[in-house]
Structure 1
């Protein structure tokens, strides 16, 4: 028999009941874990419900432990109240003392203990595991589920002990444990239903707001903006941002329309004037190469203005059609060779007879032109190689290797190789924007002699 304090027994019983309650919900926990593995993202409503359930479980566990400790404290006093009179009677019988005035107890203590259905120990007969501690005069110990032992030491140091069985105590504890378990289970079920309803109610405005934003619907005239809580503040912030973006887009559309009218008209007039001037010059006139170069420049400016207008449009407004990319490359090749004349740079190309891709020819021409322009601008000597493959385009040059810090930002607007580099730093930014509209992928990589740009065409 182990000597165990009654309060510790109550604590152990409470922990046991709590563990049984947790075990009942193991299948639910396993199901939740499987769902969590399948769904990587956790919704806000699920987080609210889980927090509510955890709070309920912790609160229920603390309440159950408190109830068991209170029960143990109360039952200890009841048992002490029951056994102390028996202890006094048996001690009086052992010593032959008087219980009341005029009455003397002459009953044998062992016979009396037998009649009272308790075990009676005196002095050396007390088992070692029942002996009271030196610092205690009276001690109550639980030795089994339904058996208790009370020990006592008088002023002369004589020790006494009784062991008795408290009927129905075991059944009472089981009933209390079942009640605690039922309370915890009922609390969890009720908390689960309440958490489900509460989370749906709290998250439904956010779900509605998300749906409207994803569908591009206006938020100004909705009830969401009239709410006086955090959801209303968020809806009003979205509505304000949406209004600002709408005004900005309207200004951009007006600007692109004005640019289209103000630039295309003078470019058309300039193109016509250059053509007339070319027709009046003789074939051997010294000014003819200059006029031809002016004509190519005006044509390039006209195409560039058209490209800028294309980039200003929405992606769904672009017209995609099959076209031969080699035709655009051969047109650029003529201008590149003319541009590199007299410089220690060799241009070569490896082009198939035909390479048909799906996209916008104007945007593709802009991408190709800016890549070649960038190569010509930075290659001081060596060679430039343009190569077409079935699903990609490679442009290799012998320009100085790009600095690693600049390389990470080279496709950003306004970024140049160095502060002394020519140009405005818009070429590669336009290349990236054009590739994004076409669905292409552009990347830069080093090779032993310089730089290489790789453009992968869309498979669609």
Structure 2
């Protein structure tokens, strides 16, 4: 991506370009004026006076006036003049600039010399003065641009700092400004107020949902525990009651995890959590999903003791969704969960994912391929959200056996 200039550099550049354009125009006009003066007043004057000067020379009348044109003919002509074509020429002779008019008359060559050293000196001085003035204009333009940029950018900088520090309050003088900065400040302030209102509603909604869900879940959990106690003598029903109790407990934990996701990471405690223990617990919880299918669930590295600084509920949510998806979508073969020192790998021999879906599988409501087991499309989106919340990364890699291979990269913490 092409890097754009900052606002300060653009303002300074505009000043310098304007000075460059104007200085070039004025310099060109001044130099052209000098050329016109030299052509009209020097060359034309010499041509107009040439005939009279030659006539006076032939009559023996010489004008011994300093700086007045001199007429030479025949042997008086220096070699440098003899090869010149008729007309006006500018020749440097003896370190001096001379305008020479060559005129052939009745078989004789005449040269009318006009010393223009003073004019050439003035012309050089004018050129040097123009160059110095040009550089001075560019310097002044750059300094003026910097000064103007500082004055223009200062309010924008104050506005940016206020937005960054979240100190753009209703009584801020920036909001009262009647220029573009004030318009921008008011737009930022209104947008910030809408965001605050939205976040407040989201927090209230999350808290209310969490509270409203926890109450019936606790009732279900208590009822399942009572049911378990009364069905101790009926193993076939006891297993169902145990599943109800376990599901209610897990749902309560998930609700708590989702509530944690609504909080900022810097506002949460991060205890040391053993990933291997959570992997083992989540694998056991997902085993019933494989009932009746020729699929084996294997966990390796469960005793590695990999520790991370994160809330156990969030770790369980990410790990559980990955293992549950693998178990749901795999109809035969195996599901392998590997705990490495810095990563968790969940690999299966399921149908895999087409390339067009794999690129957006972590987006909300993105489902697997047509014909596979359909879910809500939220599982992997929640995994990515948990990973981003904890500063982890999750990626989908191709598997050699045609299934899916998810890798959850973990920043391992020291004990």
Instruction: Report the TM-score, using the length of structure 2 for normalisation.
Output: 0.88
Residue 107 in structure 1 maps to residue 57 in structure 2: no
Query: How far apart in 1 are the matches of 2:351 and 2:23?
Result: 71
Query: How far apart in 1 are the matches of 2:177 and 2:88?
Result: 64
Structure 2 counterpart of 1:418: 369
Residue 168 in structure 1 maps to residue 113 in structure 2: no
Q: What is the deviation of 1:280?
A: 0.8
Structure 1 counterpart of 2:43: 80
Q: What is the deviation of 1:131?
A: 1.9
1:353-388, Cα deviation, whole Å (9 max, x unpaired): 222221111100000010011111211111000001
Matching of residues 304-315 of structure 1 within 5 Å? 304-315=254-265
Structure 2 counterpart of 1:99: none
Q: What is the deviation of 1:249?
A: 0.7
SS of the equivalent of 1:140 reads strand
SS of the equivalent of 2:205 reads helix
Match of 1:54 among 17, 27, 31: 17
Structure 1 counterpart of 2:231: 281
Decide whether aligned partners of structure 1 residues 365 and 116 sit closer, same or farther in structure 2, where only a CA change above 3 A counts: closer
Decide whether aligned partners of structure 1 residues 281 and 352 sit closer, same or farther in structure 2, where only a CA change above 3 A counts: closer
Structure 2 counterpart of 1:140: 88
SS of the equivalent of 1:410 reads coil
Cα RMSD (Å) of the superposition? 2.8
Match of 2:190 among 240, 252, 275: 240
> Contact 2:81 / 2:111 at 8 angstroms: preserved in 1?
no
Q: What is the deviation of 1:129?
A: 5.5
Decide whether aligned partners of structure 1 residues 159 and 416 sit closer, same or farther in structure 2, where only a CA change above 3 A counts: farther
Structure 2 counterpart of 1:387: 338
Could you tell me which runs of 5 or more consecutive residues in structure 2 were left unpaired when the two chains were aligned.
none
Query: How far apart in 2 are the matches of 1:352 and 1:300?
Result: 21
Query: How far apart in 2 are the matches of 1:219 and 1:447?
Result: 54
> Contact 1:153 / 1:160 at 8 angstroms: preserved in 2?
yes
Residue 262 in structure 1 maps to residue 262 in structure 2: no
Q: What is the deviation of 1:186?
A: 2.1
Residue 344 in structure 1 maps to residue 298 in structure 2: no
- When structure 1 is superposed on structure 2, of 174-183 and 139-148 the one drifting more is 139-148
> Contact 2:206 / 2:262 at 8 angstroms: preserved in 1?
yes
- When structure 1 is superposed on structure 2, of 219-228 and 392-401 the one drifting more is 219-228
1:312-361, Cα deviation, whole Å (9 max, x unpaired): 11122221010211221121122222221221111001024222221111
> Contact 1:119 / 1:162 at 8 angstroms: preserved in 2?
yes
SS of the equivalent of 2:337 reads strand
Decide whether aligned partners of structure 1 residues 129 and 417 sit closer, same or farther in structure 2, where only a CA change above 3 A counts: farther
Instruction: Report the TM-score, using the length of structure 1 for normalisation.
Output: 0.80
Structure 1 counterpart of 2:405: 452
Query: How far apart in 2 are the matches of 1:276 and 1:162?
Result: 131
SS of the equivalent of 1:365 reads helix
Structure 2 counterpart of 1:440: 392
Q: What is the deviation of 1:149?
A: 2.0
Residue 296 in structure 1 maps to residue 246 in structure 2: yes
> Contact 1:219 / 1:235 at 8 angstroms: preserved in 2?
no
Query: How far apart in 2 are the matches of 1:310 and 1:129?
Result: 100
Decide whether aligned partners of structure 1 residues 295 and 114 sit closer, same or farther in structure 2, where only a CA change above 3 A counts: closer
Decide whether aligned partners of structure 1 residues 121 and 407 sit closer, same or farther in structure 2, where only a CA change above 3 A counts: farther
1:240-262, Cα deviation, whole Å (9 max, x unpaired): 21111111011111111211221
Decide whether aligned partners of structure 1 residues 77 and 454 sit closer, same or farther in structure 2, where only a CA change above 3 A counts: same
Match of 1:221 among 161, 171, 176: 171
Query: How far apart in 1 are the matches of 2:210 and 2:64?
Result: 119
SS of the equivalent of 1:401 reads coil
> Contact 1:130 / 1:149 at 8 angstroms: preserved in 2?
no
1:70-89, Cα deviation, whole Å (9 max, x unpaired): 12212333323652454122
SS of the equivalent of 2:277 reads helix
Q: What is the deviation of 1:168?
A: 1.5
Query: How far apart in 2 are the matches of 1:191 and 1:76?
Result: 35
How many residues align? The count is 402
Q: What is the deviation of 1:151?
A: 4.3
Decide whether aligned partners of structure 1 residues 68 and 115 sit closer, same or farther in structure 2, where only a CA change above 3 A counts: closer
Residue 427 in structure 1 maps to residue 375 in structure 2: no
- When structure 1 is superposed on structure 2, of 181-190 and 243-252 the one drifting more is 181-190
> Contact 2:71 / 2:110 at 8 angstroms: preserved in 1?
no
Query: How far apart in 2 are the matches of 1:312 and 1:318?
Result: 11
